[in-house]
Structure 1
């Protein structure tokens, strides 16, 4: 009788099943898709905010208020956003910034009272610094974490009258 070397079909199927189970359980540990997804959503919110800011600036220009600080712009019936030089402003209170963002972007935000201690428990949270701007963070992050959107308010040079538009940037190294 000839002795054949090799694997039976059943042995091959069992090995393939075991490799499949290992791939399903081990692959997510090697590929961190959650941080990539969170970084992409922060970039998506940045794009949404840029679009909203552009539309608000257009409305401000139509109303002749693109050079005014503290102007109120009606974006829809009964929906008002306060602006500085045609851009969404960073008010003294985080509640006003939250309201401006919700009106401009049609999203819901949680207001953080302390940017270094409070952790966002909702999908998105905002923390405001009245002099420089505001920070938007995803759920589970603080305003000073390296997973955030930074909004620097528009300013006007008092001597030259030159207006610097709002700046929007993201930090996604720790998402």
Structure 2
């Protein structure tokens, strides 16, 4: 009579235990992907803000508004207030597509983050935000930065 081949119950249990150990050690690496995605989205938003502010300044320079404390230019058919050629805190959403619909303006910040005259955009209750501070004068352009307490949030804001 021919002997049948196969796995014993003990061999199957050992394999299941090994797979369980691998799953427990690998799971934390994948569980934090949502936070990483949010940080990347906020960094992308800051890049969009920088690009929009630069384009707005270029349009203001062509219109001769870059040296005035208050001025107006037309962006996508909308009269947009600018301060020294850059969008004001109040008109930033005019030049950044989706800013007022896709992001939370002035979300609740973690208690250890300081606030300033800037306007903040990000996710509610998440410790990474994009900040926009309008131009202070002709020699001080608008400042766009990413800051926060979330892992991988703080970047070189130059």
Q: TM-score, normalised by structure 1?
A: 0.63
Distance change in 2, residues 1:108/1:167 (3 Å):
closer
Residue 110 (structure 2) aligns with: none
Residue 124 (structure 1) aligns with: 103
Is 1:37 matched up with 2:37? yes
> What are the ranges of 5 or more consecutive residues in structure 2 without an aligned counterpart?
1-5, 108-115, 152-158
Shift of 1:18: 7.3
Shift of 1:70: 2.2
Distance change in 2, residues 1:12/1:56 (3 Å):
same
Residue 115 (structure 1) aligns with: none
Q: Is the Cα contact below 8 Å between 1:70 and 1:89 reproduced in 2?
A: no
Tell me the distance in 1 between the aligned counterparts of 2:70 and 2:50: 19
Residue 149 (structure 2) aligns with: 173
SS of corresponding position for 1:132: coil
Q: Is the Cα contact below 8 Å between 1:39 and 1:172 reproduced in 2?
A: no
Tell me the distance in 2 between the aligned counterparts of 1:26 and 1:19: 10
Q: TM-score, normalised by structure 2?
A: 0.69
Alignment RMSD: 3.2
Tell me the distance in 2 between the aligned counterparts of 1:168 and 1:16: 51
Residue 96 (structure 2) aligns with: 105
Shift of 1:59: 0.4
Count of equivalent residues: 136
